[in-house]
Amino acid sequence: MPVQVGGSKVAESRARVELSPTAVADKGCASSKKIRRRRQKASAAPSRSPMQRLFDTSREVFSASSPGFVPPPDAVARLSGILNDLKPHDVGVDSSMPYFKHADSKVPPQVTYLHFYDCPKFSFGIFCLPKSAIIPLHNHPGMTVFSKILFGSMHLKSYDWANSPPENHDIALENSDGARLAKVNTDAVFDASSETVVLYPENGGNLHCFTALTPCAVLDVLGPPYNRADGRDCAYYDESPYLIGGDEQYSWLKEVPTTFEMKGIQMPRKFSVSA
C-alpha cells in the first residue's frame, strides 16, 4: 500500500638475505603487535544494529529488483532469517505506543505506517494496528513482499489469481461485471511466533488482508515499491465466495474504490539506516 510520507606492483628481490636471531625476534614482535592492533580495531568497531543488518541484506536481495522480480531461494531464506530474529525493541516499537490504542469507538481504528526507508528497488516499514483494525484486501502488482509480525496476533487471508477453473467446473475466470476468480492461499491466524510470510508476484498470496485480533505490529519489506507512474498502484477488492465443496476455496474478487487511509510517520533518527 502506498503511503504519503589502486597501486603499482613491486617486483620481489631475488637476493637472499640472512637475518640475525635478534632481527628475527624483532620481526616476530612487530608482527605480534600488528596482530594485536588489528584485533583491537576489530573489537572496537561498532557492530551493526539489527535495522542496519536488515537494510544491508534487503539491499543485496533486491539489488536486481524490477516488476516481477523474484529473489533466489537462498536470498529469500537469508532475508527471512534476519526478519525472524527481529524483536520489537530492535525497531523501537512496543504496545504502549499511541499507534496501538483506539480510544474512540465511534470510528474504525486507524492504521499507522512507520516509515524507515524506500528507494526504487525496495522499501520497508512497520504497520501498527490497534485491536480490530483492518487493512482491506489489496494487491502487490509485480512485487515480492516479506511480512513479519513483531508482536500481537492477526488474521491473514490471502489469494492468488486462478489460472484455471476449479476441477469439474466449466466457468470463465472473469465474469460479466469484471470480477476475477481467485483461489485462497492462506486463511489463518499469525502471531509473533510465526515465521516470516513471503508473497510473490504470481503466487504465495499476492492479494491479502489483515485483521488485528490484538494490537499488533507488522514489518514489511517489499520490492519494487508501489509506483503509480510506473503502473504499480495499489488496488482494493471486494470478495464474494464461490462455493465448490471440498477443501479448496475460491472467491470472485472485484476491484472497488476505497476510503481506506493510513497515517504515515517517519521513524526517529536513532532508528535510521546508512545507505
pLDDT of 210 reads 97
pLDDT of 146 reads 98
Q: Residue range 186-204: average pLDDT?
A: 97
Q: CA–CA separation, 183 vs 164, rounded Å?
A: 10
**In the β-sheet with 263-266, what is the strand arrangement from edge to edge?**
197-199, 144-151, 216-223, 123-129, 112-118, 263-266
Q: CA–CA separation, 215 vs 151, rounded Å?
A: 8
Q: Residue range 130-147: average pLDDT?
A: 97
At residue 1 the predicted structure's pLDDT band, cuts being 50, 70 and 90, is low
- As a whole number, the mean pLDDT across the chain is 85
pLDDT of 123 reads 95
CB atoms within 10 A of CB 70: 15
At residue 215 the predicted structure's pLDDT band, cuts being 50, 70 and 90, is very high
> Is the confidence at residue 118, as pLDDT, over 50?
yes
Q: Residue range 28-44: average pLDDT?
A: 56
Q: 176-193 pLDDT, tens per residue?
A: 899 999 999 999 999 999
pLDDT of 42 reads 44
> Among the listed ranges 36-45, 77-86, 161-170, 228-237, which one has the minimum average pLDDT value?
36-45
Q: CA–CA separation, 38 vs 61, rounded Å?
A: 31
Tell me how far CA of residue 23 lies from CA of 12, 31, 34, in angstroms. 20, 12, 16
With CA atoms as reference, report the closest residue to 146 among 71, 45, 246: 71
| 34/224: higher pLDDT | 224
Q: Residue range 260-270: average pLDDT?
A: 80
DSSP notation for 199-240: E-SSSS-SEEEEEESSSEEEEEEEESPPBGGGTB---EEEEE
Q: CA–CA separation, 228 vs 34, rounded Å?
A: 55
CB atoms within 10 A of CB 220: 18
H or E element, residue 27 = helix 21-44
Q: Where are the domains of the chain?
A: 50-153+187-226+259-266
At residue 152 the predicted structure's pLDDT band, cuts being 50, 70 and 90, is very high
Q: How far does Cα 196 stand from its chain's mean position? A: 9
At residue 244 the predicted structure's pLDDT band, cuts being 50, 70 and 90, is confident
| 273/71: higher pLDDT | 71
Backbone dihedral angles phi then psi of residue 128, each to the nearest 5 degrees: -110, 120
At residue 2 the predicted structure's pLDDT band, cuts being 50, 70 and 90, is low
DSSP notation for 37-60: HHHHHHHHSPPPPHHHHHHHHHHH
pLDDT of 15 reads 35
Cell matching residue 203:
503466487
- Angle, alpha carbons 65-71-75 (nearest 5°): 120
Q: CA–CA separation, 150 vs 127, rounded Å?
A: 10
pLDDT of 271 reads 53
Which residue's C-alpha cell is 516499514? Answer: 125
With CA atoms as reference, report the closest residue to 75 among 56, 57, 91, 48: 57
pLDDT of 158 reads 98
> Is the confidence at residue 12, as pLDDT, over 80?
no
Q: 57-96 pLDDT, tens per residue?
A: 999 999 999 999 999 999 999 999 999 999 999 999 999 9
pLDDT of 35 reads 56
| 36/183: higher pLDDT | 183
> Is the confidence at residue 268, as pLDDT, over 70?
no
Q: How far does Cα 9 stand from its chain's mean position? A: 46
pLDDT of 266 reads 86
What is the CATH architecture assignment of 50-153+187-226+259-266?
Sandwich (2.60)
